[in-house]
Amino acid sequence: MAGLAALSAAAAAALVAALLLLRPEDPGPGAGPSMAETEALSKLREDFRMQNKSVFILGASGETGRALLKEILEQGLFSKVTLIGRRKLTFNEEAYKNVNQEVVDFEKLEDYASAFQGHDVGFCCLGTTRAKAGAEGFVRVDRDYVLKSAELAKAGGCKHFNLVSSKGADKSSNFLYLQVKGEVEAKVEELKFDRYSVFRPGVLLCDRQESRPGEWLVRKFFGSLPESWASGQSVPLVTVVRAMLNNVVRPSDKQMELLENKAIHDLGKAHGSLKP
């Protein structure tokens, strides 16, 4: 146990060091919502609901996917919601009764192409860690599974693909985690979805059901810092999923959108009345 704790602490320290070395974000044009966009969100949501679109979520068993599903159901944005995963999830709440589930084998995704057909919007929240799956397993999940899923979604008619990546993602990075995230971002872009949105949040602030001691130490570290500094490197999970949904309802003429941590903060806070 002592060895595991030391390893987790070392991993946390390495992650913090990597984050501290990242260049400051350039918010760029359109990084956050204008006042007009904020005031118009309720109307945008209503217009979006009227289109009766369908959505799938990959990775709904994880923290981000679970929070995203909850927010989608609360906002009532889609006429059909489908979860695609390696096992069927159990929900006791009435709000989840109409959620469809497709169980697939990610090692044989070609055999499950039908699960990806007929969805207007897709959200990919797939991900694991090197500590949990090993280096090879991490690459297989975070790059190979994600890319193959995106290919099948594109072939199945998905128009808007949303990918949860990571702050600092860079295919030329010396850090395997950031390198793989950057690689899959670029490969999915090559598929030429009508609209492709990439979200690069910093450290996710949430209470994970899955035990990850290293991440717990990192969250505690950011929790002790001034909010103005911590917000540049971290973000509450609920802010991320709200930003994802606020982004999906607002029109865009961009084929590819990259939302860095600051843009996620700005867009995720522009929520007004969330429920229909």
Radius of gyration of the chain, Cα coordinates, nearest whole angstrom: 18
Q: How far is CA 98 from CA 76, 79, 91, in A?
A: 12, 10, 11
Q: Which of 53, 145, 177, 196 is catalytic?
A: 177
* Location of structure tokens 């599903």: 69
Nearest to 273 by CA among 37, 41, 36, 33: 41
| Contact assessment for residue 119 and residue 158, using Cβ atoms and an 8 Å cutoff | yes
Burial class (CB in 10 A: 0-12, 13-18, 19+), 261: buried
Tokens of residue 90, six digits: 């159990």
Q: Which of 53, 154, 167, 181 is catalytic?
A: 181
CB atoms within 10 A of CB 98: 10
Burial class (CB in 10 A: 0-12, 13-18, 19+), 190: exposed
CB atoms within 10 A of CB 192: 10
Q: How far is CA 246 from CA 74, 233, 239, 252, in A?
A: 13, 21, 10, 12
| Contact assessment for residue 200 and residue 165, using Cβ atoms and an 8 Å cutoff | yes
Active site residue 177: yes
List residues with catalytic annotation. Answer: 177, 181
